[in-house]
Amino acid sequence: MVLIVALLASGIHAQNNNEMIRYRSTPGKGIEVSLDSGKSYIKRNAGLPIRIVYPFSGEEYHALGTIGYDTSQPQRAIIAMDNRLFITQNAGQHWDEISIPEDFNQSAMITAAAISSHNPNQIMIGTSFTGFYESTNGGESWVKVSDLELFDFLRRGAGFSEEISGLAYHPQQADVFYFELGFGGGVFRAEKQNGQVALIENASADDPALYTNRAVLPGDIYRANPMILSGLQRR
């Protein structure tokens, strides 16, 4: 299945130099980028790791885990490949690897990623099944956001938590972000005060920061009617 990201923020097409940027990935082929609303695509894999597999001919890239992007500057995007993170500042002309959290459980998977429109160094990743992390310095250090008591409802025992299948920063409000749980767990709005999450509530379906478009993004295999978050590409 081809994975496509259409840049939609609050229901408005996000444009860069009057060209709509779209990202897509086909298994083994890495990343392709369109600068003309999806009419044509070009490969943009510089900096991404190649898999060494038999018969050792041609290039095969690692499986894509997720794509997130900056809704105000869509040329800025972040992807996860086999629990490695890569970021681009120029619509995929080159990808740079950034560090994952030091305490990251290697049995987990990165299933969601987001970049803030308000701080170019602020990124967040969600996992299956160990909660989510945030960095405000481009990945140099991370905080496990879901360690707070407010997130106790995510915990399922034995150190495991619900899968985070989607993440997105609010395009206008710097202290607000959204997260979506896998397996039909719902979509939630979280708000920070003094840099720490102080409020979590169910997200309203008519919240303008959420956008539903299954024609562009593939439906989740676990849900018949998934809700797509602005700035989110689920795996």
Domain CATH number, residue 100? 2.130.10
| pTM (two decimals) | 0.82
Q: Domain count for the chain, please give it.
A: 1
Question: Residue 22's pLDDT band (boundaries 50, 70, 90)?
Answer: confident
Question: Residue 94's pLDDT band (boundaries 50, 70, 90)?
Answer: very high
Q: Which residue has the higher pLDDT, 231 or 141?
A: 141
How high does pLDDT run on average in the chain? 79
Neighbours of 29 (CB within 10 A): 15
Query: Domain range spanning residue 211?
Result: 3-233
